Amino acid sequence: SGREGTPSGARANVLAAWESTIAAHFAAEERWILPLVPRREDAERLRAEHEDLRGIVERLSSANPEAEPELLRRLAHALEEHIRWEERHLFPAVEAGALPDELRKAGEQLAGTDRRS
C-alpha cells in the first residue's frame, strides 16, 4: 500500500486495474473471440499470452518489494506486445473470417464487459 508514484503504488494501481478491468476483458475475449479465430496457432497464442500475463500478475500480487519493479516492467512489456499483436494480426484475421452477425455479437459482448468494469 505505497504512495502514488512509488513502486508499491504502481503495483497497487496495476493490481486494481487487473481486478477491475483486464481480467474480465481477457475472459470475454476467450469466450467470444477465441471461437472466431480461424488459425489454431493464433488461438493457442491468445491462450498462452493470457496465461503468461495472468502468471506475471499472480507473481506480482505476492512479490517482495525488490521484485516489483522487474515484474511491473515485464507485465507492461508483455501487455503492450500482446495488444499490438491482437490489433495488427488477430483482430484482422478474425474480421476476415467471421460472419457479420458473429462479429457484431462478439463486439457487443466485449463492449458490455468493458462498460461493466
Which pTM does this prediction carry?
A: 0.86
Q: Which residues does 79 contact at the CB level (< 8 Å), separation at least 6?
A: 22, 53
Mind listing the pLDDT tens digit for each residue in 37-56?
999 999 999 999 999 999 99
Torsion angles phi and psi, residue 3, rounded to 5: -75, 160
* Cα–Cα distance for residue pair 75/16, rounded to 1 Å: 14
Q: What is the mean pLDDT of residues 103-115?
A: 86
Residue 2's pLDDT band (cuts 50, 70, 90): very low
Percent of the residues in the chain that have a pLDDT greater than 90, as a whole number: 76
